[in-house]
Amino acid sequence: MNKYTEDDLREELKTKEYEYGFYTDIESDTFPVGLNEDIVKAISLKKEEPQWMTNWRLEAFKAWKEMTEPEWANVHYVKPDFQAISYYSAPNSKPKYNSLDEVDPELLATFAKLGISIDEQKKLSNVAMDVVVDSVSVATTFKKTLGEKGIIFMSISEAIKEHPELVKKYIGSVVPQKDNFYAALNSAVFSDGSFCYIPKGVHCPMELSTYFRINQAGTGQFERTLVIADEGSYVSYLEGCTAPSRDENQLHAAVVELIALDNAEIKYSTVQNWYPGNAEGKGGVYNFVTKRGLCETNAKISWTQVETGSAVTWKYPSCVLKGDNSVGEFYSIAVTNNYQQADTGTKMIHLGKNTKSTIISKGISAGKSQNSYRGLVKISPNADNTRNFSQCDSLLMGNECGAHTFPYIEAKNKTARIEHEATTSKIGEDQIFYCNQRGISTEKAIALIVNGFSKDVLNKLPMEFAVEAQKLLEISLEGSVG
Amino acid sequence: MDLKEKLISSFWAFENHQDEDTYLHNIRTEAIKTFENHGFPTKKEEAWKYTSLNSILKNDYSVFPKQENTIEYNDVKKYFIHDIDTYKIVFIDGKYASHLSQTTHDGMDICLMSSALSKPKYRILVENYFNKIAKKDSLTSLNTAFSNEGAYIHIPKNKMVAKPIQIIHFSTGNESATMLQPRNLIVVDENSHLQIIERHQSLTVNPVLTNSVTELYINKRAIVDYYKIQNDTLDASLIDNTYINQKQESICSVHTFSFGGKLTRNNLNFYQHGEGINSILKGVSIIGDKQHVDHNTLVHHTEPNCESHQDYKGVFGENSTGVFNGKIIVNKEAQKTNAFQSNKNILISDKATINTKPQLEIFADDVKCSHGCTIGQLDENALFYLRSRGIPEKEAKALLMYAFSNNVLNSVKIPEIKQRINKIIANKLGVNIGFDL
């Protein structure tokens, strides 16, 4: 057998295209490019939204026009031309289906390629899926099972129609329309997303999950997710993304709002694998996401993310620890390769007494990528006995990449206890040698070491995701160490 | 007329009094233009996010003191490290005070910036070093524009400077608020050793604003220890900009002791050019009242096998604010770098604030870099232990705080400074700990 050398691997990787890079030919209902008040109104009309929602969008649009794109992040990219994007694209095959058989077979084939066949998911795993293709929810499963518990899990456009009182009360309460440039844009033009409400005292029996995909060429995707966990409830929410490969940059500006009322717990896990661009840094998705959760008394919000895709990532899942004794957690693995850039981290805003937060961030950079951790821990004067622990570790592979840490710590209370530590290192030659010596190839050894490095975070993922995430790590880093 | 306009118009008045000197004239005019374009930094700038200059800029500072004041040595003796023999370069309101100073030209130059800038024999050094590593930001440029006085020190090769050098700036500011802009240039050639103690002291209740710039060049294998003692009055503010350029195998340590002053901002920048360099940055801040101390450090590693060690401790009481903004940059060529940064803080009052931002920017893979920062309180158990042994609460707290900041003092090489700092700490904590710390 020929020896498989690193050169072979490098060669193989050069030619290896993005695995999930295919394009499904579904006839789409696409709006003309550009953004103005009429487009916002048209989106709202198309979604058959009530007047208050239209006004809400217009308000956001007005604010957005006044704002400028933020530049403080440690990323460099060609700014998207917001007038060259089509703000609405929905698969044409309507109306909604009662069973999977009615779904466009081509679409089903797409899912099969992605390895997320709804059929299989439905039968074998205990996961309810709200599959989103190009912004419109196509199939919602397990709705009935959830319905019996009083859990509302539907697309946000349906929720606006069916549960306007909930949406009206909570939308924009954590991420206001004017929060930032991309949140304002999203608020104005969001096409669809997921809505989830867990009633008082209900422990959601299954992991809720959504898959987002960007499918149509040149369309931006503006998702809006709203998760409300009422008093004493529990929900674990999974979000995963894969996108077909495209040459021009695609924009993804999502907003996720989590509301955990008294004693509630929300666990929000993300695996992000948008198209990162090819080896020369051409193409790839811009991922500018605003994610924030609000914790009332004794509530807990836990963010877990595995970020392997996107050309540019700009994302800070945050927790506002408003209620006393609330807990915020953030576990993140960010992997960048080739020309990818990631500026990600979290904000922990401690407002209540005895609040606790934990931040574990693992950054792995390879190729010519740049990986930054940016985080804020803020202790307000009234937040007595708060506790924060932050750990940011970076792993560098090769000397053309960069790892950066920008933690901000603001403490205004003398009883706060805050610890922050960060390290940067590379994979030790001795570690690889040890593995080689035991018959483990270098490539496998690296996967093993990276897995160990990220274990703290991988462990926090739900089972189904952990496996996928591990695979993703391997794929993302293949051939990055020579 | 606001301060910016006043400074710009004073500049032209000042510049017309200077001798015809195209080289320096060009540097100064360019600098004032930079300042004119940028103005004073505001909180909108990332580096000034946590420090606002507004409160100190509203005073009507006189830029050039109208009358010369003299002070007696006995009145200000306590501000000197007087129990050891030292060289002294002393300024009163920005003017050189020869009766308090002790300079030399014997084998080395420990003298004045004004003579270095005006005398032809220093011209080569000035052209090689003056304003070369200083950043062209607005405050440094402002200083450059007005630079005419300060310390000029040049230590030639293979020279062990036997006595430390004290650089002390007094401000008397009898008539009004005063703004001072001292400018120091220090060049240490190969294999030489140098110790410097720097202090800014206000003797008045009028507000004083000092915008100081120091450029320090450390050549191969030279060793420099720099001690900054900042224990000024509540009306004095200091913006200290220090730029240090290190060549291979040189060692430089800077200790910053911030115990007083209305607003103290330390911009401490290390640029490493060569292999085997060691940079040491240590700091203790113990403040109360409405004081504000901001340490803004940068260590830039550009070549392999270098080290940097940062250790900053802070104790913040009453309404004080502490800021730490440390940055380590490791270029991709700088393999085998060991860079460490630690910032530990204790808040002892409900109204005190800490903002800390330790940053790493790393482009090389074979490095060991870490940073850690903590904010916490005195250990209840340790306090209880001490009290159970009959030590009153106040003293027990002081002991613990002393212990907290002690390891920064360990690396101080001049025992007299260590003693002095110990006394200041004990004094700050308001206790007589009962043994000579």
pLDDT band at B57 (very low <50, low <70, confident <90, very high): confident
pLDDT score of A260 more than 50: yes
Kindly state the average pLDDT of the residues A101-107: 55
Nearest to A422 among B352, B360, B366 (CB): B360
pLDDT score of A133 more than 60: no
Helix pair angle (B3-17, B138-146), 10° resolution: 30
Chain A residues bordering chain B (beta-carbon distance below 8 Å): 72, 379, 381, 394, 396-426
List, in order, residues 6 or more apart from A101 with CB less than 8 Å away: none
Kindly state the average pLDDT of the residues A127-139: 51
- CA of A389 vs chain B CAs: smallest distance (Å): 9
- CA of A248 vs chain B CAs: smallest distance (Å): 28
Most confidently predicted of A56-65, B131-140, B191-200: B191-200
The residue among A137, A167, A138 whose CA lies nearest residue A152 is A167
Kindly state the average pLDDT of the residues B332-347: 89
pLDDT band at A96 (very low <50, low <70, confident <90, very high): very low
Q: What percent of chain B has pLDDT over 90?
A: 31
pLDDT band at A389 (very low <50, low <70, confident <90, very high): very high
For tokens 């679409």, what's the residue? Answer: A107
Token duo for residue B394 = 């106040």
Contact B362 A394 (CB under 8 A): yes
Token duo for residue B183 = 């400018």
Contact B372 A72 (CB under 8 A): no
Contacts of A363 in chain B (CB under 8 A): none
Nearest to B353 among A398, A412, A415 (CB): A412
Is there a contact between A191 and A43 (Cβ–Cβ < 8 Å)? yes
Domain assignment present for B437: no
Contact A404 B376 (CB under 8 A): no
pLDDT score of A162 more than 50: yes
pLDDT at A295: 93
The CA distance from A358 to A364, in Å, is 20
Contact B360 A414 (CB under 8 A): no
Nearest to B362 among A398, A403, A417 (CB): A403
pLDDT band at A302 (very low <50, low <70, confident <90, very high): very high
Is there a contact between A313 and A290 (Cβ–Cβ < 8 Å)? no
B65 prior amide bond cis, ω within 30: no
Chain A residue at shortest CA distance from B327: A406
Look at residue A177 and give its three-state secondary structure.
coil
pLDDT score of A403 more than 60: yes
pLDDT at A206: 77
Helix pair angle (A51-66, A37-46), 10° resolution: 150
Q: How far from chain centre, in Å, is Cα A432?
A: 32
What's the mean per-residue pLDDT of chain B?
Answer: 87
Size of interface A-B (CB pairs under 8 A): 114
pLDDT at B58: 83
Number of domains composing chain B: 1
The residue among B238, B214, B340 whose CA lies nearest residue B287 is B238
Chain A residue at shortest CA distance from B373: A420
Contacts of B371 in chain A (CB under 8 A): 405, 420-422
pLDDT score of B166 more than 70: yes
Of residues A426 and B307, more confidently modeled: B307
For tokens 């007329």, what's the residue? Answer: B1
pLDDT band at A120 (very low <50, low <70, confident <90, very high): very low
Domain assignment present for B435: no
Contacts of B372 in chain A (CB under 8 A): 419-422
- CA of B378 vs chain A CAs: smallest distance (Å): 10
Chain B residue at shortest CA distance from A386: B376
The CA distance from B234 to B276, in Å, is 41
pLDDT band at B113 (very low <50, low <70, confident <90, very high): confident
Is there a contact between A422 and B376 (Cβ–Cβ < 8 Å)? no
What's the mean per-residue pLDDT of chain A?
Answer: 78
In sequence order, the β-bridge partners of residue A328 are: A301, A357
Most confidently predicted of A174-178, B21-25, B184-188: B184-188
pLDDT at A430: 86
pLDDT at B298: 93
Nearest to B361 among A402, A416, A418 (CB): A402
pLDDT at B254: 94
Chain A residue at shortest CA distance from B46: A72
Nearest to A409 among B355, B366, B368 (CB): B355
pLDDT (tens digit, 9 = 90+) per residue, A434-479? 999 999 888 888 888 888 888 888 888 777 677 767 777 776 666 6
Domain membership of residue B39 as a residue range: 3-428
Asked if B362 is an interface residue toward chain A (Cβ–Cβ < 8 A), one would say yes
Kindly state the average pLDDT of the residues A261-276: 86
Which one-letter amino acid corresponds to residue A392?
A: C
Is there a contact between A54 and A67 (Cβ–Cβ < 8 Å)? no
Domain assignment present for B129: yes
pLDDT score of A119 more than 50: no
Contact A417 B377 (CB under 8 A): yes
Interface-testing mutation among B46, B51, B362, with chain A (most A C-beta atoms within 10 A): B362
Contact B358 A413 (CB under 8 A): no
pLDDT at A138: 43
Contacts of A401 in chain B (CB under 8 A): 363, 365
pLDDT band at A11 (very low <50, low <70, confident <90, very high): low
Chain B residue at shortest CA distance from A407: B357
Most confidently predicted of A36-50, A178-192, B244-258, B393-407: B244-258
Contact A405 B371 (CB under 8 A): yes
Of residues B409 and A117, more confidently modeled: B409
Q: What is the DSSP string of A281-308?
A: S-S-EEEEEEEEEEE-TT-EEEEEEEE-
pLDDT at A143: 66
Kindly state the average pLDDT of the residues B337-366: 88
Kindly state the average pLDDT of the residues B328-354: 89
Domain assignment present for B433: no
pLDDT band at B395 (very low <50, low <70, confident <90, very high): confident
Asked if B354 is an interface residue toward chain A (Cβ–Cβ < 8 A), one would say yes
pLDDT band at A95 (very low <50, low <70, confident <90, very high): very low
Kindly state the average pLDDT of the residues A72-81: 78
The residue among A335, A352, A64 whose CA lies nearest residue A190 is A64
pLDDT (tens digit, 9 = 90+) per residue, B45-56? 888 888 888 888
Contact A401 B360 (CB under 8 A): no
pLDDT band at B276 (very low <50, low <70, confident <90, very high): very high
The CA distance from B436 to B415, in Å, is 13
pLDDT at A331: 92
The CA distance from B419 to B437, in Å, is 7
Asked if B359 is an interface residue toward chain A (Cβ–Cβ < 8 A), one would say yes
Nearest to A402 among B46, B352, B363 (CB): B363
Kindly state the average pLDDT of the residues A109-120: 51
Contacts of B365 in chain A (CB under 8 A): 396-399, 401, 426
Q: Which of A107-116, A272-281, B146-155 has the lowest mean pLDDT?
A: A107-116
Kindly state the average pLDDT of the residues B219-240: 91
Contact B363 A424 (CB under 8 A): no
pLDDT score of A254 more than 60: yes
Is there a contact between B210 and B169 (Cβ–Cβ < 8 Å)? yes
Of residues A176 and A84, more confidently modeled: A176
Chain A residue at shortest CA distance from B325: A408
pLDDT at A135: 46
For tokens 């009507």, what's the residue? Answer: B60
The ranges assigned to domains in chain A are: 20-315
- CA of A447 vs chain B CAs: smallest distance (Å): 18
Contacts of A425 in chain B (CB under 8 A): 367-368
The residue among A400, A33, A38 whose CA lies nearest residue B333 is A400
Chain B residue at shortest CA distance from A374: B359
pLDDT at A124: 36
pLDDT score of B380 more than 80: yes
Contacts of A416 in chain B (CB under 8 A): 347, 375-376
pLDDT at B279: 93
Of residues B60 and B174, more confidently modeled: B60
Asked if B356 is an interface residue toward chain A (Cβ–Cβ < 8 A), one would say yes
Q: How far from chain centre, in Å, is Cα A306?
A: 8
pLDDT (tens digit, 9 = 90+) per residue, A220-232? 578 888 999 999 9
Asked if B348 is an interface residue toward chain A (Cβ–Cβ < 8 A), one would say yes
Token duo for residue B134 = 């200083």
pLDDT band at B40 (very low <50, low <70, confident <90, very high): confident
pLDDT (tens digit, 9 = 90+) per residue, A304-318? 988 887 888 888 999
Asked if B76 is an interface residue toward chain A (Cβ–Cβ < 8 A), one would say no
Contact A414 B352 (CB under 8 A): yes
Interface-testing mutation among B310, B336, B360, B373, with chain A (most A C-beta atoms within 10 A): B360
The CA distance from B42 to A373, in Å, is 25
Is there a contact between A243 and A24 (Cβ–Cβ < 8 Å)? no
Contact B359 A399 (CB under 8 A): no
pLDDT score of A98 more than 60: no
Q: What are phi and psi of B38, to 5 degrees?
A: -95, -30
Most confidently predicted of A173-182, A209-218, B32-41, B306-315: B306-315
pLDDT score of A126 more than 90: no
List, in order, residues 6 or more apart from A23 with CB less than 8 Å away: A215, A217, A244, A246
Question: Would you say the C-alpha torsion B171, B175, B178, B184 has a positive or negative sign?
Answer: negative
Token duo for residue B125 = 């050094």
Contact B365 A399 (CB under 8 A): yes
Chain A residue at shortest CA distance from B361: A404
Contacts of A405 in chain B (CB under 8 A): 358-360, 371
Kindly state the average pLDDT of the residues A108-118: 53
Is there a contact between A294 and A320 (Cβ–Cβ < 8 Å)? yes
pLDDT score of A360 more than 50: yes
Chain B residue at shortest CA distance from A411: B354
Is there a contact between A198 and A229 (Cβ–Cβ < 8 Å)? yes
pLDDT at A105: 60
List, in order, residues 6 or more apart from B98 with CB less than 8 Å away: none
